[in-house]
């Protein structure tokens, strides 16, 4: 029986992913290099592989770079872009739906706690979350399932009793590895990336009626291996 929802943060609650992508694209363009989408796909939703981007850029330019200076400049530009953003459509509505259902609400993010909590406070959403699980809480971030398993433990529910809301393939894979249902809402960047098995794909959280969807999932028999292999998505 579903009784908890666990949100991702970057790209799901606040569109920080577009700014992150744009700033890396601009950095690469300054060296007349293109950022491959498959390289970005390996990085997005995780904090474990950012060095891969700089490794690739150095390989393309043929010399070492001042990574700290480049990252400092990029981070400043990223923050400037994010400052203009508001919570993505439907986020507050789904939080209110979960609250009215009496569900436990958590968050699992590969970003650090200060980043997530600061933005949640600014957006006026922090009070909805009983648990925030961030990269400081685990040895490995997404696509490893540790963050989602930790969030479920913090909320006092079994993974099978929770649904994860995600925007990236790495995040969705982490949720499914943890044994959770997963609803994906790809953003402007991740909608071009391939996803594996998910339970529902939406273009916006505004489309989700959490109670109705949960009732359908609770009545459903477990998905058979054959249907899982087909990566079936369930739609309302």
Known catalytic residue at 8 = yes
Query: If phi over 0 gives left and psi between -120 and 50 gives alpha, with beta otherwise, what is residue 11?
Result: left
The DSSP secondary-structure symbol of 137 reads G
Q: How far is CA 213 from CA 95, 113, 138, 180, 200, in A?
A: 15, 30, 30, 15, 9
- 3-state class of 90 per DSSP? coil
**Options 10, 144, 167, 199, the catalytic residue:** 10
**Options 8, 15, 167, 199, the catalytic residue:** 8
Known catalytic residue at 10 = yes
Query: If phi over 0 gives left and psi between -120 and 50 gives alpha, with beta otherwise, what is residue 32?
Result: left
Q: How far is CA 28 from CA 17, 53, 73, 77, 170, in A?
A: 17, 10, 13, 14, 23
- List the catalytic residues: 8, 10
């Amino acid at each position: 029986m579903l009784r908890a929802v666990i949100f991702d943060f970057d790209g799901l609650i606040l569109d920080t992913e577009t700014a992150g992508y744009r700033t890396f694209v601009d950095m690469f363009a300054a060296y007349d290099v293109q950022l491959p989408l498959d390289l970005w796909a390996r990085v997005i939703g995780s904090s474990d592989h950012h060095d891969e981007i700089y490794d690739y850029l150095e390989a393309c330019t043929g010399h070492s770079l001042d990574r700290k200076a480049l990252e400092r400049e990029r981070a400043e530009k990223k923050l400037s872009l994010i400052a203009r953003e508001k919570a993505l459509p439907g986020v507050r509505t789904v939080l209110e739906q979960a609250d009215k259902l009496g569900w436990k609400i958590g968050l699992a993010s590969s970003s650090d706690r200060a980043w997530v909590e600061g933005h949640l406070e600014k957006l006026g959403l922090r009070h909805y979350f009983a648990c925030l699980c961030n990269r400081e809480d685990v040895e490995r971030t997404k696509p490893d399932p540790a963050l989602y398993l930790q969030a479920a433990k913090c909320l006092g529910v079994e993974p099978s009793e929770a649904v994860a809301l995600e925007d990236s393939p790495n995040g969705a894979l982490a949720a499914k590895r943890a044994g959770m249902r997963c609803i994906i809402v790809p953003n402007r960047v991740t909608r071009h990336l391939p996803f594996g098995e998910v339970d529902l794909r939406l273009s916006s959280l505004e489309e989700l009626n959490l109670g109705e969807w949960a009732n359908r999932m609770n009545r459903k028999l477990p998905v058979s291996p054959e249907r899982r292999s087909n990566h079936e998505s369930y739609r309302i």
